[in-house]
Amino acid sequence: MIPDPLPWHDAQRARLERSIAAGAIPHALLLRGPGGNGESHFASRSAAAVLCLEQTRGSPPCGECDSCVLCASGGHPDRIDVGVREERREIVIDQIREIIHLTNLTPRIGRRKVVLIDPAERVNHHAANTLLKTLEEPPGETVFILVSTNAALLPATVRSRCQMIDFPTPAPAMALEWLEKTLVHEHSKYDAADLLEIAHGAPFGALALVAEEQIDLRRELAIEVDALLAGEDPLKIAAAWKVKGLDRVSWWIGDILAVRLRESALEGRVRSQLLPLVDQCLEIRRRVMGRGNPNEQLAIERLAITIATAGRAA
């Protein structure tokens, strides 16, 4: 399926369509945003637009040409997708070599090929170095589309070779209207405004909460944080958190604490002890997502113990 245009992507879409119409598509685009704003959705639509054979007929993708039909079926031979393979944490050099090989072959359908790298910040150091030259002068009319929710992790040498398109969080009313419609369409039981609040206004972030049952996980974690503050054994809670995984636990605990602190529902001394934890959770999350490798058990136990200690300060 070619993704529908999203209302909060109007400016970004107009910019890309202008370059396509002028026959001046950049060699490499870097779509960057905080995540959850439909960055990958836009990338997929842009790939179809770049590959569309009827680009002179209004705004691509036309949805009807041979290329668009193939994009819609998910099997376009000139669209090359690169992501993190299941058993890995990074995009590795072999994957980049394979792309370079494929981009050197003649396109099968039209004049162009598109390479989609998502999440681009996971391209490791060696792979990034190998990619550089091709990114600067792609063979034929290949267009690279990189998507990153943490573009700062990308080497400056990669960033400087790309034209950036930013994806800020949409206006709240627009996000709410879109999410409400989407949830109704999916017969979802969740409330759009609640989800958006938890997802900090990011519409796709809100949808992911539903899709991955994250909302239920967050609810459980919030109950466990309260239990810790009320004197529950931190090691018992830590054992439960280990099952949930450091990645998700650190993300949600940071979020839950930030909301609690904002709501001022906590007493002064408890606040002062919990405040640094919000940043610590962010830091743990960065290390988990990046290439650092925190000791999972230790990090989880520390989190639980710090919250329990703060509870005792009340």
* Binding site residues, Zn ion, CB under 5 A: 52, 54, 61-62, 65, 68
Nearer of residues 67 and 169 to Zn ion, judged by Cβ: 67
Output the smallest distance, CB 57 to Zn ion, in A.
Answer: 8
Q: How far is the CB of 113 from Zn ion (least distance, A)?
A: 15
Identify which of residues 68 and 154 has a Cβ nearer to Zn ion in the complex.
68
Nearer CB in complex with Zn ion: 45/260: 45
Cβ distance to Zn ion smaller for residue 47 or 65: 65
Task: Report d(CA 245, CA 251) in Å as an integer.
Answer: 10
Q: Is the peptide bond before 34 cis (omega within 30 degrees of 0)?
A: no
Please tell me the distance from the alpha carbon of residue 143 to that of residue 50, in angstroms, as a whole number. 8
Give least dist CB 73 to Zn ion, A. 13
Give the CA angle between residues 187, 193, 197 to the nearest 5°: 125
Q: How many CB atoms lie within 10 A of CB 23?
A: 9
Q: How far is the CB of 70 from Zn ion (least distance, A)?
A: 10
For residue 141, give the nearest of 19, 11, 39 by alpha carbon: 19
3-state secondary structure of 199: coil
Nearer to Zn ion, 48 or 151 (CB): 48
Which CB sits closer to Zn ion, 76 or 161?
Answer: 76
Most distant CA pair in the chain, distance: 69
The C-alpha atoms of residue 124 and residue 92 are separated, in whole angstroms, by 6
Among 240, 248, 258, which Cα is nearest to 304's? 240
Q: 120: which 2 tokens?
A: 């681009």
DSSP assignments along 190-202, one per residue: S-HHHHHHHTTT-
* Calpha distance 262→269 (Å, rounded): 15
Q: In angstroms, what is the minimal distance from the CB of 18 to Zn ion? A: 17
CB of 68 to Zn ion, least distance (A): 3
Nearer to Zn ion, 116 or 128 (CB): 116
The answer to whether residues 80 and 110 touch, using CB atoms and an 8 Å cutoff, is no
- Minimum distance between the CB of residue 72 and Zn ion, rounded to whole angstroms? 10
